[in-house]
Amino acid sequence: MSDSFERYRCQIALPGFGTSSQERLANARVLIVGMGGLGCPTAQYLTSSGVGTIGIADDDIVSLSNLHRQILYTPEDIGLFKVEVAAKKLQRQNPSVSVIPYRIRISSSNVTDLISEFDLIIEGTDNFETKCLLNDACVLAGKPLVYGAIYQHEGQVSIWNVLQKDGTYSPNYRDVFPDAEESQVPNCREGGVIPTLAGIVGNMQANEAIKYLTHSEDILAGKLWMMNVLNGRTQIIKLKKTSVRIIDLPQTVPVITLEQWKQDQDDFEIIDVRSELEHSQFNIGGRNIPLDELHHHVHLISAISKSILIYCQSGKRSGEAVKKIKEAFPKKKVFSLKGGISKIQL
């Protein structure tokens, strides 16, 4: 272990760490879901610290607007799949670590099998649907989940669902944010984010993972760490469990990419659920039915015989529209345009 000892000398030298903690890291299997602003620094530091097996799951490609905060990628990577680029770079960073890329969108149909292979799950996603899905899957499987979130100048970190000495589990995402799926908080593209915040929160997630894997007692289970980088303030609040019971996984919204739609666009009826002003400024065709007016057009939607593609700016409103339509018409084939039209808007 001479080469490994030299590489990890500084962390092994920490009081209470030693070679035993390094061996725990080497034997650990960690899954990171989302290779964006949070997933990139998390993956880089877990790779450099010697976590033995790291899975990275994402189905997105690198775009120009990612580069200000997702600093694992370069302009040459634009248009390539994030997990494929990241896996190669992380493997070069530390050849002794096994990096496994999963070029998939996490859904209710694949999440259970995916997380079963790992000891610890880390989520770096930017939508509430996936956060809830991962949380529920981890609760049902008894897996710990490292949570991270960023918005504008504020960030949060915690670790959910940790098995306690008394046999109970620490609070999970739904204990703290029971109405998360109804939240209207914009994502980074819509609401903005200072790039340094992504690095800070991603590193805090990596730090929490290392603490958990090396059996540190002072982890953020039952606590929520919060930071505002605009004024530099941090705080930790204690959390309580609620009576919320998770008995099944939430159904995920079916999506298709713009490229997939273009190949078979004659088979689709498309609906823009943005405002009339947004539609007039830029659109890719179809009817304009704003999300909050959707319930007034039930008869129109019921008469559509083709598959339906819903789009908006980022995919958030279209996802909500798909849920509403599927609730009213369970047998209709309805899809949300992945990522919305923000990436193609001129």
Predicted local confidence at residue 164, as pLDDT: 92
Task: Let me know if 312 is a catalytic residue.
Answer: yes
Any alpha helices (H) in the chain, and if so which ranges?
2-7, 9-12, 18-27, 39-49, 82-93, 111-115, 128-141, 173-176, 188-191, 195-213, 258-263, 276-281, 298-302, 316-328
DSSP structural state of residue 161: S
The pLDDT value given to residue 187: 67
Task: Say which of 40, 132, 138, 312 is annotated catalytic.
Answer: 312
The Cα 277–Cα 300 span in angstroms is: 22
pLDDT by 10-residue block (mean), the chain, 346 residues: 77 94 97 97 98 97 93 96 98 97 93 96 92 95 97 96 93 89 65 92 98 96 97 95 77 84 89 94 93 90 92 89 89 89 68
User: What pLDDT score does 269 carry?
Assistant: 92
* pTM (predicted TM-score): 0.82
Question: Residue 1: its pLDDT value, please?
Answer: 44
Q: Catalytic residue at 40? A: no
Determine the pLDDT at residue 346.
44
Beta carbons within 10 angstroms of residue 13's beta carbon = 9
Selected catalytic residue, list 40, 132, 138, 188: 188
